[in-house]
Structure 1
Amino acid sequence: MCGIIGCVGRGDETLETLVHGLESLEYRGYDSAGVALGGDSFGVCKTSGEIEQLRAALAEQSLSGSVGIGHTRWSTHGPPTDENAHPHQDCTGEVAVVHNGIIENYQELRDDLTAAGHTFKSETDTEVVPHLIEDELASGAAPEAAVRTAVSQLEGSYAIAAIVDGTDALFAARNDSPLVIGVGLDAEGTGSTNLANGPYFIASDVPAFRKYTAQVIYLEDGEFARLDGSLTVTGADGQPVEKAVETIEWDPEETGKSGYDHYMLKEINEQPRALRQCLRGRVDELASTVDVESIGDLDPSGIQFVACGTSYHAALYGSQLFEQAGVPSQAYLASEYASSPPPIGDDLVVGITQSGETADTLSALREAKQRGAETLTVTNTVGSTATRECDHALYIRSGPEIGVAATKTFAGQLAALNLFTLATVEDSQRRSSVIPALRDLPGDMQSVLDNSTAAEVAEEYATAESFFFIGRRYQYPVALEGALKLKEISYEHAEGFAAGELKHGPLALVTDQTPVFALVVGDGPIARKTVGNIKEVQARDAPVVAVTDGQSNAATYADHVLEIPETNPRAAALLTNVQLQLVAYHVADNLGRPIDKPRNLAKSVTVE
């Protein structure tokens, strides 16, 4: 994995279209890149490192063609080297393939191909595909049939795009890994919905070609596409499949930096708008009602959340919302759920995934469906695999998020989960106390963004040995998320804890070089207990940063204070979170880290 782009029908602009597409996919994370062009001529150029290095290599190599594929690789099989970069070729150099996913039977296939005389140049699982195609071509198969037969031998997850020398066509197939087709503009500049006009694009994600078209077709598992002067999509049985053309609503300008130094900072500052989009049309404050049409008339008696990473922290938050409403609920790491699923009973299973393509979460949802559970996904991506496979979908409406470290989508997930509980299981009394806080949330968050002193706090502690984050109830998932954000983009050690757990072991690690960020809202028993935890770490000489609404006396014991407005405790979690996002960003910036391209990480993890 990680990013695929392909196009036909762009003429002399094919190469630049591919490279632009790869640049638009940089946010997904990668460690090498490459392109292949075919048609009248055939050639491949690929390098380890960033796309700037690919551009430099292309400047020394003459590539042209009317059909092409490109790839940004995030290493799974073999380190990031020129040889392991995609596209991969066969022995004759007449086939080029790019691939996302993992081919589980690649070693068996590779052994058979090696015994048959094929020579491999990389350590990747992907390289078996062009050699399989080569064998089929050698036996007399036409290019499309050769690709089909090769794909039929694969086990595992894949999104594959292939070109063959002398053929002005691009072939693509998917299974458990996303692929979307872009339908280009006709001569009049309107969207070609009759599928008889080009150009056409194929990509792992829409931003790769959004500059050129907003018309898209989502491939399903087992489907195969041929893109040339027309577009043909067929099923696993080879029969044509009618596909609906959908329109992407967001503007390509939304994926730019808009003057910010980093996508992450831009997206942190976009959160008030993202929250308004999430809440718009769903909340009637006068009637004290919430209506989320896409989830139907759900009335869950129990809920199992499945998610990974940041989305798992949202799942923990959502689980607490339902528990507080009297509905048994539990959050599971999707990778653990899929390998050893707990009893389902009549529980609703909710998969939280920003991209709608997270492999572990999809696997958990499929396991749940196989066992008869009703499923719902909370996602940001219309048309994603999760939305197509689940019974219901709750969209967070955050708009495109380019930064690898999730920010505005986490806020959107928490807001959407509030809507979910309010619309399904909570009574009018609870709704009347929460809805006004949700209404005020975008403005409260803008106030935090406008007045935060996180930059000064980050500057003082950027070189600390370690960072601890503590919180209780709704603030506990935020503490976990704050630590994750700091780890992701600063590469510094950070840990999040339920505040009461510090004294059960982690307190041994506390020194004057481990700042503790304590999340304290309100002035009830929970706040007072957290203040007690602040005193515990202060007694061990740890500097304390209180993230608080000022209702408790937490500031009295803190070295620094990051303020948030007073609000409902559920909404306060989103406000303390934005302060921690800013801390993580400014620590990483002080340390000179590549904030939008953290090492070893990818935006959409489509392998298990």
Structure 2
Amino acid sequence: MCGIFAYLNYCAPRDRRYVLEVLLNGLRRLEYRGYDSSGIALDADLPPPGSAAAYAGAPPLVFREEGKIDNLVRSVYSEVDEKGVNLDATFSVHAGIAHTRWATHGVPAPKNSHPQSSGAGDEFLVVHNGIITNYEILKETLVRHGFTFESDTDTEVIPKLAKSVFDQARDGEGDMTFSQVVMEVMRQLEGAYALIFKSPHYPNELITCKQGSTLILGVNEVSDQNSVKSFQNVKSLTTNGNPMEFFSSDLCAIVEHTKNYLAIEDNEIIHIKDGSVSILKFDKEKEKPASVQRALSVLEMEVEQIKKGSYDHFMQKEIHEQPHSLTTTMRGRLKDSGVVLG
């Protein structure tokens, strides 16, 4: 079991230090889900005007470390000092992603930590909770097309698939939206997953999707009268039009930021762009997704209540959650035609 987290501020200026601490604190809340390694990705400073940038934004800043979250914290601040990264730089829009890992494929090591990358330049980054059961077949196909792999994870095929889809569209002189890229990736994936994508080709955007694994969207600055209304453009719900949005594997990581949340359903794609939230329902059998109307819920519990629920101890909670954990583990592996091993 892994934990994924993301934070995006829109027209709500925040310095890089603040964003970094939000991401690291989100991981601390999720550390119970896995702590053999962790990682984050932040926006870099944009290239100077007129520079020959290879794509829309600068390559993101990616940090990965083996061990507990405290190891990542020390590593990040040490590397920031070495590279001279300006933590006081302010961003009116920023999209950051984070991950804490419990190894399923590949030993605990920085190379197997998330975010996993599409390759040089980190054109596509992904954090993942779940298991991709057909990753070996996908990896063989990508290797035949010239991709090289650095990690031992099943996750690495996902950002490389995204780059493959993006490159094919670009070579054909066609433009694809971020959501279109992700949908083409989803068509090829089998297993249980919750994914968050980030790419400098699509600056200031985040994409999430899920199949089987839990994923939550949180939106702050929602006025009381709008908090339970259906929405497609979240800016219309906010008190000032400057929303901050969060994604997390667990409510405990977002409740300190907002009580307004949406439990993302299977095969839903959540696309954040220009502060707006688009919700799409994906179907492998259909070329285009359906636009979905959803309603935000309002959480009434505090962090400790969410963590333990109605149980007195975490051990008691874990015992009672075993049937659900077993079901999640087997999802994507038990099929009418047989059992998927490996």
TM-score, normalised relative to structure 1: 0.43
Q: Is 2:180 the counterpart of 1:145?
A: yes
CA distance in structure 1 between the partners assigned to 2:213 and 2:190 by the alignment: 13
CA distance in structure 1 between the partners assigned to 2:4 and 2:225 by the alignment: 25
- For residues 418-445 of structure 1, what are the alpha-carbon distances to aligned partners after superposition, in whole Å with 9 as ceiling and x for unaligned? xxxxxxxxxxxxxxxxxxxxxxxxxxxx
Local SS of the residue matching 2:3 = strand
CA distance in structure 2 between the partners assigned to 1:114 and 1:204 by the alignment: 31
Conserved in 2, the CA contact under 8 Å of 1:185 and 1:192?
no
- Tell which deviates more after alignment, 245-254 or 87-96: 245-254
Conserved in 2, the CA contact under 8 Å of 1:4 and 1:203?
yes
Identity fraction in percent = 33
- Find the counterpart in structure 2 of residue 33 from structure 1: 38
Q: RMSD value over aligned CA atoms?
A: 3.3
- What are the ranges of 5 or more consecutive residues in structure 1 without an aligned counterpart? 257-262, 275-308, 312-352, 371-607
- Find the counterpart in structure 1 of residue 254 from structure 2: 209
2:327 is aligned, of 326, 337, 360, to 360
Q: Is 2:51 the counterpart of 1:6?
A: no
Conserved in 2, the CA contact under 8 Å of 1:186 and 1:192?
no
- For residues 285-319 of structure 1, what are the alpha-carbon distances to aligned partners after superposition, in whole Å with 9 as ceiling and x for unaligned? xxxxxxxxxxxxxxxxxxxxxxxx723xxxxxxxx
Conserved in 1, the CA contact under 8 Å of 2:106 and 2:112?
yes
Which residue identity does 1:2 align to in structure 2?
C
CA distance in structure 1 between the partners assigned to 2:162 and 2:34 by the alignment: 29
Which residue identity does 1:310 align to in structure 2?
I
CA distance in structure 1 between the partners assigned to 2:165 and 2:34 by the alignment: 34
- Find the counterpart in structure 2 of residue 82 from structure 1: 110
- Find the counterpart in structure 2 of residue 348 from structure 1: none
- Find the counterpart in structure 2 of residue 350 from structure 1: none
- Find the counterpart in structure 2 of residue 223 from structure 1: 268
- For residues 318-367 of structure 1, what are the alpha-carbon distances to aligned partners after superposition, in whole Å with 9 as ceiling and x for unaligned? xxxxxxxxxxxxxxxxxxxxxxxxxxxxxxxxxxx37x852426869xx9
Q: How does 1:305-454 map to 2 (within 5 A)?
A: 310-311=319-320, 353=321, 357-360=324-327
- For residues 224-260 of structure 1, what are the alpha-carbon distances to aligned partners after superposition, in whole Å with 9 as ceiling and x for unaligned? 111230111110141111112112221236479xxxx
- Find the counterpart in structure 1 of residue 299 from structure 2: 248
CA distance in structure 1 between the partners assigned to 2:107 and 2:294 by the alignment: 38
Change (3 A) 1:19 1:357: farther
Which residue identity does 2:142 align to in structure 1?
L
Conserved in 1, the CA contact under 8 Å of 2:228 and 2:295?
no
Conserved in 1, the CA contact under 8 Å of 2:162 and 2:182?
yes
Which residue identity does 1:44 align to in structure 2?
V
Conserved in 2, the CA contact under 8 Å of 1:177 and 1:357?
no
Q: Is 2:124 the counterpart of 1:95?
A: yes
Change (3 A) 1:216 1:188: closer
- Find the counterpart in structure 2 of residue 280 from structure 1: none
Change (3 A) 1:142 1:99: same
CA distance in structure 2 between the partners assigned to 1:187 and 1:244 by the alignment: 14
- What are the ranges of 5 or more consecutive residues in structure 2 without an aligned counterpart? 47-57, 171-175, 284-288, 337-341
- Tell which deviates more after alignment, 95-104 or 38-47: 38-47
- Find the counterpart in structure 2 of residue 155 from structure 1: 190
Which residue identity does 1:177 align to in structure 2?
S
Conserved in 2, the CA contact under 8 Å of 1:184 and 1:191?
no
More RCO (CA 8 Å, sep 6+): 2
- Find the counterpart in structure 2 of residue 170 from structure 1: 206
Conserved in 2, the CA contact under 8 Å of 1:174 and 1:220?
yes
Local SS of the residue matching 1:25 = helix
- Find the counterpart in structure 1 of residue 54 from structure 2: none
Bigger Cα Rg: 1
CA distance in structure 1 between the partners assigned to 2:251 and 2:205 by the alignment: 21
CA distance in structure 2 between the partners assigned to 1:179 and 1:135 by the alignment: 26
Shift of 1:54: 0.8
CA distance in structure 1 between the partners assigned to 2:295 and 2:224 by the alignment: 21
CA distance in structure 1 between the partners assigned to 2:108 and 2:223 by the alignment: 42
Which residue identity does 2:327 align to in structure 1?
D
Change (3 A) 1:230 1:192: farther
Which residue identity does 1:162 align to in structure 2?
F
CA distance in structure 1 between the partners assigned to 2:277 and 2:25 by the alignment: 22
Q: How does 1:444-523 map to 2 (within 5 A)?
A: none
Conserved in 2, the CA contact under 8 Å of 1:4 and 1:204?
yes
CA distance in structure 2 between the partners assigned to 1:136 and 1:36 by the alignment: 22
Structure number with the higher strand fraction is 2
